[in-house]
Amino acid sequence: MVKNSNKKFAMHPRNVLRTAPDYTKLAIKHKNFRQVCELELNGKVSLNFRNERTLRELTKMLLLEYFGLHVDFAPGSLVPTLALRLNYILWLEDLLANRKLGTVRGIDIGCGSSCIYSLLAAKKNQWQMLALESKLSNIEYARENVKRNELQTLVEVYAQPDKQSIFKSYFESCSQREKRSFHFCLCNPPFFDSNAQNPFGGNTRNPERRPAPNNVRTGSAEELTCAGGEVQFVQRIIEESELYKDQVLIFTSMLGVKANLPKILDSLKERQISNVSTTEFHQGHTTRWAVAWTFEKIPLKVDTNC
């Protein structure tokens, strides 16, 4: 979350974490966060980003400090990094900016136990969010996080009965009277291929160009892996997007591997989906990529790096 002096690798200009937080002041203010901090000889605090408890308390503290959100995570579940999630939300704001919408409605595909995207979208922008999740423990925590922050009128957590379905289960469960249209969907798909011999053993980065991330990996196997990894997951979104193009205006997804972006663009091209935009999310040593597509004629915003 340290601000990068190289403009090319800076966070989104509206990201509140673009300037590094003062952890010393925040440790004084937040007791639980203070307990995971390490005191240096100069009196400042440092963090062990390879410790899962530290990451949990850091994210909880930042959500409370900057957005007034009280969030908890299911044991063993994915601990989201706030800077990255904010970059994604801000990019969505940019994609929707020229449409002059009133009430904005979005779909969060696989909200996890934190339900962080939906909570941020609701709290920050008053967007109405449908959060989809298939894992029972995550659903319970996500609903409790929504309730704890009194955002029930803006966020609905829907229990996905079919893990192979993206939108189908929800839209088929709605009566004609209940059906709503949405302005976007977002997704942080399972990163690794569960069919691989060693799903977590592959090295997806060039260490000379991009240093290894400081953070320890968190999340259950169900959250981190799926058959075919993120490429096949996003390809399923693309397939269903053709079926539900009248229900969702802009489809988006994040990608964890740069080499996978051309594969997704090829999939879109094969289906003659040409109104496409891409971006990069930069936060510290971590870079992620994102793609957006729509079936409407209004061009998507020109490529920007966050």
Q: Is the pLDDT of residue 92 over 90?
A: yes
Phi, psi values for residue 168, rounded to 5°: -55, -50
The residues spanned by each domain of the chain are 73-194+215-305
In angstroms, rounded to a whole number, what is the distance separating the alpha carbons of residues 169 and 176?
14
19: tokens are 């300037």
80: tokens are 């989201």
Residues in CB range of 44: below 8 A, 6 or more apart = 23, 24
269 by DSSP, 3-state: which?
helix
In angstroms, rounded to a whole number, what is the distance separating the alpha carbons of residues 291 and 98?
18
pLDDT of the residue at 2: 33
Q: Is the pLDDT of residue 135 over 70?
A: yes
Conformation bin of residue 156: beta by default, left when phi > 0, alpha when psi is -120 to 50: beta
> Hey, how many other C-beta atoms are within 10 angstroms of the C-beta on 18?
18
Q: The whole model's pTM is what?
A: 0.88
Q: Is the pLDDT of residue 215 over 60?
A: no
Q: Is the pLDDT of residue 217 over 70?
A: no
Least confident range of 140-144, 190-194, 255-259? 190-194
Give percent above pLDDT 90 in the chain: 66
Q: Is the pLDDT of residue 5 over 90?
A: no
Instruction: Encode pLDDT of 276-298 as tens digits.
Output: 999 999 998 889 999 999 999 88
In angstroms, rounded to a whole number, what is the distance separating the alpha carbons of residues 88 and 256?
13
148 compared with 11, residue with greater pLDDT: 148
Give the helix ranges, DSSP H, for the chain. 23-29, 31-34, 52-67, 82-96, 116-125, 136-148, 168-173, 221-224, 229-243, 260-270
The answer to whether 54 and 36 have CB atoms below 8 angstroms apart is yes
Q: Rounded to whole angstroms, what are the CA distances from 20 to 10, 15, 16, 28, 39?
A: 12, 11, 9, 16, 18
Q: Is the pLDDT of residue 206 over 90?
A: no
In angstroms, rounded to a whole number, what is the distance separating the alpha carbons of residues 152 and 147?
6
pLDDT band at 222 (very low <50, low <70, confident <90, very high): low
Instruction: Encode pLDDT of 73-91 as tens digits.
Output: 998 888 999 999 999 999 9
pLDDT of the residue at 192: 54
CATH superfamily of 73-194+215-305: Vaccinia Virus protein VP39 (3.40.50.150)
Q: Is the pLDDT of residue 172 over 80?
A: yes
Average pLDDT, the chain: 86
Over range 113-129, report the average pLDDT. Answer: 97
